[in-house]
Structure 1
């Protein structure tokens, strides 16, 4: 075998799991498709900041430096992850995009896009979702002749100055991007239902303080609270105020798109310059398609991150894998430790 465990993905989930693997005495090899182990953070839009303060945003073993009450910027997170990776006693291979994983003998063979191959006893898929942006089936969208882009490709408002823009979505990113664009463009936030807000601070404390002391942030039972599926927008008052002032305004989702126009629910037809789809992501696991580990929609067949089809295949960093914080900096370490303990027990048999 070339490796006891191959970690696919060198972002927050892969790094946290590599740390946990070393604590169990295992020797993982981390495969990261990008040029440095920072996951998708360097590619997010320019103004993105964490929703949780630095004190709640650390991976195991290394606190996030600086003022613990601040909300770190995208670039700070990317630098934190890169430094975290440098301190790990593990092999990390960059520019190593995985093309395929196959079962072979008592383990797996991992094939890279460049043709390289690694034999591994166990595999952990920690490739996140950024590489698989979700585009809903909106009537006529394929015929829209102006700009259509997903939030994954949005960086800054400058290119949209003076334009008529529609942002589709009701989550944190949708509201933040729409509010930012509204400073330079005429923007509508188009949603299927009204936007739900959650106060960023309660009784002088950040919401994550209350989630932590109540256990809702980590408890598996918190998955029962996942209704409706769209989480509320965390807000210190700025975004609710922006919507209330009409910059951006909020409308029910349009009913049709054609050429450079959209048709609203009231029948109004309007010329539009750009549509930004802030409609989320799905697990990015195409390399497992031939393994029989995914359902028909490409979602992993698992229970709490343990594959239901292959005992030595695991997942870390899935949304709601075990709790509200499973796919976040503040919560992935707990799932990583659980996965490492389980795989260690299986490998030592």
Structure 2
């Protein structure tokens, strides 16, 4: 049986909910299909100590401020999950859970969304699947030879399971720094990065990052010189646990090793170090396999967009994958504006 609606939103995390909020305000009929069985998106699956970069008031979706978490300046992941669950309920967003979208096809005047529980026909689609389900592992020589444990950021929970072990954390971004700080003092830690860690000034948090990303987009749109955005400030937000580990001398980064062996790693000078585990904090790629048949993807798996709208398919909008779909659009505070713009464009398309 095929169901029909004006808009199908794929993904019920923060980006999908922001899209639903604005579509609802515009009176656009839609459904939100989410593969998760509970609210909260990827925030349900983060490591235990993860905290936001910004205070609650600066980490909110459109329409509702995130409540302050008691005794915490920077809310933890479970607080975000609770907020998203409340947000979905408050605005009566039409989320259908446990629905896996398998493919999207062009179907005459409609886009046909195939799922594991039936098909939908829609006049427009918003893809908001994020990146968490597509962890990236670099092609480091010997990676398949290593006999120890290898895991990605998405599989890390807490330091207890690594107590006393020799652990190598790979990655010079926020995830690498936070997980290295989490393990410091519990495991025999080695933190490796492609280049020396670049910490943002201690007073900078997510508020300043959002402002920097927005200023860069405005400059580019106006044809002015590229400001560099967030990358010009640094790679690592010095959240309190990272700052404490850094200041205690526990976050001394080493240059990247050249290869893995069965027992450990080989460094550039030829010396070897044994290891029990390697944690790859090496980023993600956009989860867009459901568009494979439409042949829209280009460089680095991205779909070319103007704002959030796909260049080669005007009925498709992409939301929350990074700056290429809106300044800071992969953040709670940043997704609101591109979600609003996408909803407005879709409403105009439907009325035409």
TM-score normalized with structure 1 length: 0.92
C-alpha displacement of 1:199: 2.3
CA distance in 2, matches of 1:253, 1:209: 31
Q: Do the aligned residues in 2 keep the contact of 1:31 with 1:92 (CA within 8 Å)?
A: yes
C-alpha displacement of 1:179: 1.2
CA distance in 1, matches of 2:311, 2:67: 39
Q: Do the aligned residues in 1 keep the contact of 2:305 with 2:325 (CA within 8 Å)?
A: no
Corresponding residue to 1:195 among 185, 193, 197: 197
C-alpha displacement of 1:298: 2.6
User: Alignment RMSD, CA only?
Assistant: 2.1
1:125 aligned residue? 127
1:315 aligns with 2:311: no
Corresponding residue to 2:252 among 236, 249, 254: 249
Q: 1:229–1:42: structure 2 CA closer, same or farther, 3 Å change rule?
A: farther
| Aligned-partner SS, 1:187 | strand
1:91 aligned residue? 94
1:161 aligned residue? 163
1:14 aligned residue? 16
Q: 1:310–1:210: structure 2 CA closer, same or farther, 3 Å change rule?
A: closer
C-alpha displacement of 1:210: 4.6
1:304 aligns with 2:300: no
| Residue-by-residue CA offset, 1:82-109 (whole Å, 9 max, x unaligned) | 1111122332100001000001011111
CA distance in 2, matches of 1:326, 1:343: 18
| Residue-by-residue CA offset, 1:4-43 (whole Å, 9 max, x unaligned) | 0000000000000000111121011000001123110010
| Aligned-partner SS, 1:103 | strand
Range with bigger deviation, 240-249 or 283-292: 240-249
| Aligned-partner SS, 1:16 | helix
Corresponding residue to 1:53 among 36, 45, 55: 55
Q: Do the aligned residues in 1 keep the contact of 2:69 with 2:79 (CA within 8 Å)?
A: no
CA distance in 2, matches of 1:153, 1:188: 19
Q: Do the aligned residues in 2 keep the contact of 1:187 with 1:249 (CA within 8 Å)?
A: no
C-alpha displacement of 1:113: 2.5
Q: Do the aligned residues in 2 keep the contact of 1:307 with 1:314 (CA within 8 Å)?
A: yes
Corresponding residue to 1:334 among 327, 331, 337: 337
Q: Do the aligned residues in 2 keep the contact of 1:129 with 1:283 (CA within 8 Å)?
A: yes
1:348 aligns with 2:344: no
Q: 1:64–1:312: structure 2 CA closer, same or farther, 3 Å change rule?
A: same
Unaligned 5+ runs, structure 2? 221-225
Q: 1:93–1:229: structure 2 CA closer, same or farther, 3 Å change rule?
A: farther
| Aligned-partner SS, 1:235 | coil
Q: Do the aligned residues in 1 keep the contact of 2:212 with 2:230 (CA within 8 Å)?
A: no
CA distance in 2, matches of 1:197, 1:94: 39
Corresponding residue to 1:279 among 279, 282, 293: 282
Q: Do the aligned residues in 2 keep the contact of 1:321 with 1:327 (CA within 8 Å)?
A: no
Corresponding residue to 2:31 among 23, 29, 32: 29
2:223 aligned residue? none
1:218 aligns with 2:218: no
1:79 aligned residue? 82
2:150 aligned residue? 148
Q: Do the aligned residues in 1 keep the contact of 2:6 with 2:30 (CA within 8 Å)?
A: yes
Aligned residues: 342
TM-score normalized with structure 2 length: 0.91
| Aligned-partner SS, 2:343 | helix
| Aligned-partner SS, 2:323 | coil
1:270 aligns with 2:273: yes
| Aligned-partner SS, 2:313 | coil
Range with bigger deviation, 274-283 or 241-250: 241-250
Q: Do the aligned residues in 1 keep the contact of 2:213 with 2:229 (CA within 8 Å)?
A: no
